[in-house]
Amino acid sequence: MKKEWKRRLLCGFFALLIASAEPALIYAKADNTEAIDEAAEASSVSEEDLDAYFDGSVFVGDSVLMGFRNYAMKRGGSCLGRMQFLAAGSFSVYNALLPVSSKSVHPVYQGQQRLVWESLGMLQAKKVFLFFGLNDLNMGSLESTCGRYAQVIANIKAACPDAEIHIMSMTYTKQGKGKGKLNNPTIRQFNDMLRQMASDSGWGFVDIANPLADGNGDLAAAYCSDNYVHQTNAAYDVWAAVLREYAKSQLEGTSAFPATPPAAPEEETAASEAEETQQSAETGSSPVIGPQEETAPAGPGTAESAAGSPETETGHTL
């Protein structure tokens, strides 16, 4: 009888322990879930914010970018419809630094070819997305190409001091279709150099290449329109998604490449500005510079330049 009484007492005791423990566990889970929800809500970016991120954005580049321009014009919408474009077949950082002439391939804005930084100044660009490389890799060493890239950006910053700079990675060729230095191992090396430039300079960097790659690291067949380098609408669907995710990371402050230039020491900045002012006064010219060659070498984008009709000024075709 005593054993039975003790057994019941112990059972009742453990039942009380379990009953008192369960609510605490449930409340702990509820508190944790609430904290997670609050954190998610605090870091969320609205669709309107994502769309507005591209206000004042101008995309500059070659015939692959022309394809995205045409895609954006057809699809429209609250995000794509805000983007503006300065793109031309055969355009490159090399060609961007050449003078405007009858042989040049600068994008047309307001009825005429212009140096791209001049057009960006007229557009009052707030964000500049640069897509180059297709017509550059066979023009010299990667180091010289990166040097030209940096000069183009310096010229853009001289014309648009407050504009953010965002470099877009060069995309790959279809497997086995590379020509000369325009091959995927070299493209990967070039993208690594661009990524480092962006990191060192406070520029944004958008990886478009890898989301479009197949398991071998080549441009996936489903995303290639010409068995070479140009791309399909399915590829540009990926572009749109990547850019949207990139905008979110920039707005949330979680991007590995925040587009915020590192602050230079005040004395160094003042000295640099004084030197540039003195040089401009002595030469009667601006600090914007470029090579003196008159010829603009053709590239794989040539065939699309007419079809892309860069001279059309309706909508966002520039």
pLDDT tens digits, 24-62: 333 333 344 454 344 445 558 999 999 999 999 999 999
SS3 of the chain: the string is CHHHHHHHHHHHHHHHHHHHHHHHHHHHHHHHHHHHHHHHHHHCCCHHHHHHHCCCEEEEECHHHHHHHHHHHHHCHHHHCCCEEEECCCCCHHHHCCCCCCCCCCCEECCEECCHHHHHHHHCCCEEEEECCCCCHHHCCHHHHHHHHHHHHHHHHHHCCCCEEEEECCCCCECCCCECCECHHHHHHHHHHHHHHHHHHCCEEECCCHHHECCCCCECHHHECCCCCCECHHHHHHHHHHHHHHHHHHHHCCCCCCCCCCCCCHHHHHHHHHHHHHHHHHHCCCCCCCCCCCCCCCCCCHHHHHHHCCCCCCCCCC
> What are the pLDDT digits (tens) for 247-286?
999 999 999 999 975 455 554 444 445 454 444 444 343 3
Residue 12 has what pLDDT?
52
* Separation CA 248–CA 269 (nearest Å): 32
Residue, of 207 and 294, whose pLDDT is higher: 207
pLDDT at 158: 98
Q: What is the pLDDT of residue 78?
A: 86
- CA-wise closest residue to 316 among 121, 69, 52, 54: 69
Name 128's bridge partners: 58, 165
pLDDT: is 25 or 235 the higher one? 235
State pTM to two decimals: 0.74
Q: Is it the case that residue 13 has pLDDT exceeding 60?
A: no
Q: Give me the pLDDT at residue 127, please.
A: 98
pLDDT in tens, 196-219: 999 999 999 999 999 999 999 999
Q: Do residues 89 and 304 touch, judged by C-beta distance below 8 A?
A: yes
| Position 299 pLDDT exceeds 50 | no
Q: In the structure encoding, which two tokens stand for residue 271, read together?
A: 């000295």
Tokens standing for 8? Answer: 């019941």
Average pLDDT score over residue span 141-150:
98
CB-side neighbour CA atoms (13 Å) of 137: 24
Residue 189's pLDDT is 99
pLDDT class of 7 with cuts at 50, 70, 90: low
Distance from CA of residue 260 to its chain's centroid? 14
Q: Which of 26-35, 45-54, 147-156, 182-191 has the lowest mean pLDDT?
A: 26-35
| pLDDT score at 263 | 52
Average per-residue pLDDT for the chain: 80
Per-residue pLDDT, 207: 99
**Long-range contact list for 277-286, CB < 8 A, 24+ apart?**
286/158
pLDDT recorded at residue 43: 54
Counting every residue written for the chain, the total comes to 318
Architecture, CATH, for domain 47-263+287-308: 3-Layer(aba) Sandwich (3.40)
User: What is the phi/psi pair of residue 6, to 5°?
Assistant: -65, -40
Asked if pLDDT for residue 306 goes beyond 50, the answer is: no
Percent of the chain with pLDDT over 90: 66
